[in-house]
Structure 1
Amino acid sequence: MYQVALGKISDLQQQPLSPGLRQLAPTGPRRAAWLAGRVLLSRMLFPLPLPEVIYSDNGKPAFHASVPLWFNLSHSGNNIALIVSDEGEVGCDIEIIRPRENWPRLADAVFSAGERQLIAAEPEPLQLAAFWRIWTCKEAILKQSGGHVWQMAQIDSTALAHSFVSQTFIAGSLSLALCTPTPYLLNINDISGQHSLWDLVELR
């Protein structure tokens, strides 16, 4: 089973957290997203207490091995997304669909031939959105395994062997991709309009 939560960082960071947990939040620009992510996790698991979050050698946050749940967080601008799973490691990426200077050159550098063909097949006005769709898929795949963005060129989202990616656009302005160890269908009707304070989508 998979559960997905979408929210606004500016709202979530102000919601109640235990004093001990809030004291663990980093200072500086990462603080707001960190707090928002812990609020989402706490609400996702309620009424159970939030387990301690640890970090793997490659920096991926996780619960202790004794807790049979896996999660991943992503944020872009004021938007944050969370996926929680009881089936194995997951990856999540959310991006604002926005202009990016020299994106065709970036696609040439880190996208596979198959991915570049998907972009070329779109009408020119839709190619930027296609770029972000593929980008979020590749990032979700990387994040499932704890990889880093500099490994982007090693991932081909059109040739997956052991993982499954589901992707959708939200309100025409966000691209969301999830990578899981078992197949599922992410239905846009289930998540449309859910990038508000707190909503859950249950996917099987």
Structure 2
Amino acid sequence: MTKITVWLASNHLEQPEQALAQFPESARQRIGSYPAGPEFRNRIGSQLLLKKAVEEIMPNAPDVLKDIVRVEGEQPFFKTIGLHFSLSHSHDKIALALCTTQPVGIDIEYIDPKQDYFTTDYLHEAEKKQFEQLDAIMMQQKFIALWTQKEAALKAIGKKIYEIPLASINTCETILAIPPHQVHCRLLHALPGYCMALASTSAFEYEIRFTELA
């Protein structure tokens, strides 16, 4: 059974620029291109959480942020550190999944009651039937749950959401078929007001650790 560690962090960084100044040059250039605001703060917080989590699990690991490899069209990965990781952030929360044996995918979404998320464009035919008897509130929550599962599943197989039609993925099934992959995906009910999904290409168990970034 694959074991995955999930880290959930509340991002309260007050001076993200100071943290960014300590990052490797490549990370400073990439993140520094974002304007100041929540996205900028969460990009920095995501890297800090990744560094903190890896160093806790592997105290003798090389410089975590320098070990990250980014290839156009692929999910980032470590060059030498023996861990698979996936990051996601929404509002003021950051989610990280770490695994020693399998690629993983995680997605977190803040449920904004003022925003209308629902659209049938990304729904499988089987999924559309689930919405027929739902009221407006339940429809929004159900749609976000489907979205997070699909995005987490695609991350687990190293794909971007624009590479595979989301309507081709049927979350009504216990195991998601994304040929040639079979993806195990679970919703995590760990944060009120948020929807989160975790995925891997094999059956897994997980533990959740909570922390804060300040």
Specify the TM-score bucket, using the shorter chain as the normaliser: 0.7 to 0.9
2:152 & 2:134 partners in 1: Cα distance?
Answer: 22
Greater share of strand: 2
Alignment partner, residue 181 of structure 1? 201
Structure 1 stretches of 4+ with a deviation exceeding 4 A read 12-18, 121-124
Superposition deviation, residue 69 in structure 1? 1.3
2:110 & 2:135 partners in 1: Cα distance?
Answer: 20
Alignment partner, residue 197 of structure 1? 212
Matches within 5 A, 1:1-204: 1-11=3-13, 14=16, 19-21=22-24, 24-25=27-28, 26-27=31-32, 28-29=34-35, 30-46=39-55, 47=59, 48-49=61-62, 50=64, 52-64=67-79, 66-99=80-113, 100-101=115-116, 103-104=117-118, 106=119, 108-120=120-132, 122=134, 124-150=136-162, 151=164, 152-159=166-173, 160-161=176-177, 162-185=182-205, 194=210, 196-197=211-212
CA gap of 1:124–1:20, structure 2 versus 1, over 3 A, is closer
Structure number with greater CO (CA < 8 Å, separation at least 6) is: 2
Normalised to the residue count of structure 2, the TM-score between the two structures is 0.74
1:81 & 1:158 partners in 2: Cα distance?
Answer: 24
> Does the CA-based 8 Å contact 2:13-2:41 persist in structure 1?
no
CA gap of 1:33–1:181, structure 2 versus 1, over 3 A, is same
Superposition deviation, residue 147 in structure 1? 2.3
Q: Select between 169-178 and 81-90 the one with higher mean Cα deviation.
A: 169-178
* RMSD over aligned Cα atoms: 2.8
> Does the CA-based 8 Å contact 2:4-2:205 persist in structure 1?
no
Equivalent pairs: percent with the same residue? Answer: 23
Normalised to the residue count of structure 1, the TM-score between the two structures is 0.78
Superposed CA offset, 1:79-118 (max 9, x none): 11000111211111000112433x44x1x11111222233
3-state SS, counterpart of residue 103 of structure 2: coil
Q: Which runs of 5+ in 2 are unaligned?
A: none
1:132 & 1:165 partners in 2: Cα distance?
Answer: 14
> Does the CA-based 8 Å contact 1:168-1:186 persist in structure 2?
no
Superposition deviation, residue 12 in structure 1? 8.8
